[in-house]
């Protein structure tokens, strides 16, 4: 089970992981409605290293990106849920619209996003400048939080 970290604590533990020679993978997202596509992406990301950090958009960040009706679950609930996944070692939050500042502070060895974000991966420049790798992994077909939410709403009487 993963641990939930404040940003400063995550940066400190990242230093420890670096000194231990651990390969750290980082990914991020809203994870507002956890589905099999999320789980499989996290498992594939974790397989790329020794430790997986998942940075979640804060509630305010999700609202700015997806509108006032989101998130469906609070950041604390999303963190507890994702930290319980076997693939996730560390969960933290970012309040900005992108995790660029957090990525620059953590400097993971591998930065991962889903292929739907291959056109823009925040933190790419910082990770590559530090000698890290940036990857856009394929998505699990048929899964998207937005499409699942729409299907649920369509079924309402």
Work out how many domains the chain is built from and give that number: 1
* Cα-to-chain-centroid distance, residue 25: 10
Provide the pLDDT for residue 116. 78
Bridge partners of 133, per DSSP, are: 110
- Give the HSE-up count for residue 71: Cα atoms under 13 Å, Cβ half-sphere: 20
- The per-residue pLDDT for range 2-47, each reduced to its tens digit, is 999 999 999 999 999 999 999 999 999 999 888 888 999 999 999 9
- How far is it, in rounded angstroms, from Cα 92 to Cα 70? 19
Q: Which residue from 73, 79, 92 is spatially nearest to 26, judged by alpha carbons?
A: 92
- How far is it, in rounded angstroms, from Cα 142 to Cα 36? 10
Provide the pLDDT for residue 136. 95
Domain that includes residue 66, residue range: 3-154
What CATH number corresponds to the domain at position 14?
3.40.50.620
- The per-residue pLDDT for range 86-130, each reduced to its tens digit, is 999 999 999 999 999 999 999 999 999 987 767 889 999 999 999
Average pLDDT of the residues of the chain: 92
| Distance in angstroms between the alpha carbons of the first and the last residue of the chain | 39
Provide the pLDDT for residue 157. 76
Give the total residue count for the chain: 157
What backbone torsions phi and psi does residue 39 show, to the nearest 5 degrees?
Answer: -60, -45
Provide the pLDDT for residue 83. 98
pLDDT for 1 beyond 90: no
- How far is it, in rounded angstroms, from Cα 38 to Cα 3? 18
Q: Taking CA 147 as the corner, what is the angle to CA 73 and CA 87, rounded to the nearest 5 degrees? A: 55
pLDDT for 147 beyond 70: no
- The per-residue pLDDT for range 53-99, each reduced to its tens digit, is 999 999 999 999 999 988 989 999 999 999 999 999 999 999 999 99
């Amino acid at each position: 089970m993963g641990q939930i970290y404040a940003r400063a604590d995550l940066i400190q533990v990242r230093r420890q992981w670096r000194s231990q020679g651990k390969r750290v993978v980082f990914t991020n997202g809203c994870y507002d409605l956890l589905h099999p596509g999320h789980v499989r992406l996290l498992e594939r990301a974790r397989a790329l290293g020794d430790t997986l950090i998942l940075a979640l958009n804060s509630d305010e960040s999700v609202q700015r990106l997806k509108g006032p009706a989101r998130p469906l679950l609070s950041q604390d609930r999303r963190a507890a849920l994702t930290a319980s996944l076997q693939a996730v070692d560390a969960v933290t939050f970012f309040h900005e619209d992108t995790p660029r500042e957090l990525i620059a502070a953590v400097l993971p060895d591998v930065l991962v996003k889903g292929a739907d974000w291959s056109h823009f991966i925040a933190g790419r420049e910082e990770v590559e400048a530090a000698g890290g790798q940036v990857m856009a992994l394929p998505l699990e077909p048929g899964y998207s939080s937005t499409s699942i939410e729409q299907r649920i709403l369509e079924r309402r009487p």
